[in-house]
Amino acid sequence: MNGVFITLEGGDGSGKSTQAALLEEWLTARGRTVVRTREPGGTDFGNEVREIVLHSRGHISPRAEALLYAADRAHHIETKVRPALARGEIVVQDRYLDSSVAYQGAGRVLDGDEIRSLSLWAAEGLLPQLTILLDLDEATARARLDGANKRFDRLEAEKSDFHRRVRAAFLELAAREPDRFLVVDAALQPEEIAAAIRARVEPLLAE
């Protein structure tokens, strides 16, 4: 693979979409071809899975939920991400396997190592060169979501204890792999966050 794989992680309301857009704009201005995508929902199949896992009104068992995310991941990586990387493009992706470990592992109280193994199997071992973790306390994140005046999906609607476990899991993952992760305070101004991200991405462009 000649491309660069960059993922953005963090709790709901941390600003991932904003930073993904700013990063795409900066990379494109530098003449790089960017594929901006997300999980779930980066493909037609993924959009169907997204509708189930985020907007289904009925109960979904935690293991079934984890398997649905893994199924989306397997298809998404094989059909969209790996081909883009093989073409030498930069993939900027909103959520990847770390979200599964945090949300289905810590949030749903499943075994995080098992969730990671499942995700790596689904993705045939693919890891990003860089994972940007936008860290934000759950109270501030909830206030942002409330201010957006939007209908919460199944995960956004979970109680504060769930989101506290998710945040702690993300920070633990980042501590385990400091070379892969960049942790940024998501309470900073968007341009400050974008500058920190660009500084970390810059060296990857020369590799």
**pLDDT digits (tens), the chain, 207 positions:** 589 999 999 998 899 999 999 999 999 999 999 999 999 999 999 999 999 999 988 899 999 999 999 999 999 999 999 999 999 999 999 999 999 999 999 999 999 999 999 999 999 999 999 999 999 998 898 888 777 767 787 888 888 899 999 999 999 999 999 999 999 999 999 999 999 999 999 999 987
Report the alpha-carbon distance of residue 103 to residue 98 in Å, rounded. 8
Could you give all domains of the chain from N- to C-terminal order, each with its CATH number? 4-205 (3.40.50.300)
Token digits of residue 171: 């920070």
Give yes or no for a contact between 130 and 6, defined as CB atoms under 8 angstroms apart.
yes
Report the alpha-carbon distance of residue 27 to residue 30 in Å, rounded. 5
Report the alpha-carbon distance of residue 202 to residue 207 in Å, rounded. 10
Report the alpha-carbon distance of residue 204 to residue 97 in Å, rounded. 21
| C-alpha distances in Å from residue 51, one per residue of 20, 103, 195 | 22, 17, 34
Q: Say whether 50 sits in a helix, a strand or coil.
A: helix
Q: Of 203, 166, 167, which Cα lies nearest the Cα of 186?
A: 167
Spacing of C-alpha 78 from chain mean position: 17
pTM for the full predicted model: 0.93
Would you state the pLDDT for residue 165? 94
Report the alpha-carbon distance of residue 192 to residue 42 in Å, rounded. 28
Task: Write down the H helix ranges in the chain.
Answer: 16-29, 44-55, 62-76, 82-86, 97-100, 112-122, 138-147, 160-176, 190-205
Burial of residue 32 (number of CB atoms within 10 Å: 0-12, 13-18, 19+): middle
Strand partners, 121: none
CA angle 146, 150, 152 (to 5 degrees): 85
| C-alpha distances in Å from residue 185, one per residue of 15, 57, 94 | 11, 33, 17
Would you state the pLDDT for residue 170? 97
Would you state the pLDDT for residue 1? 53
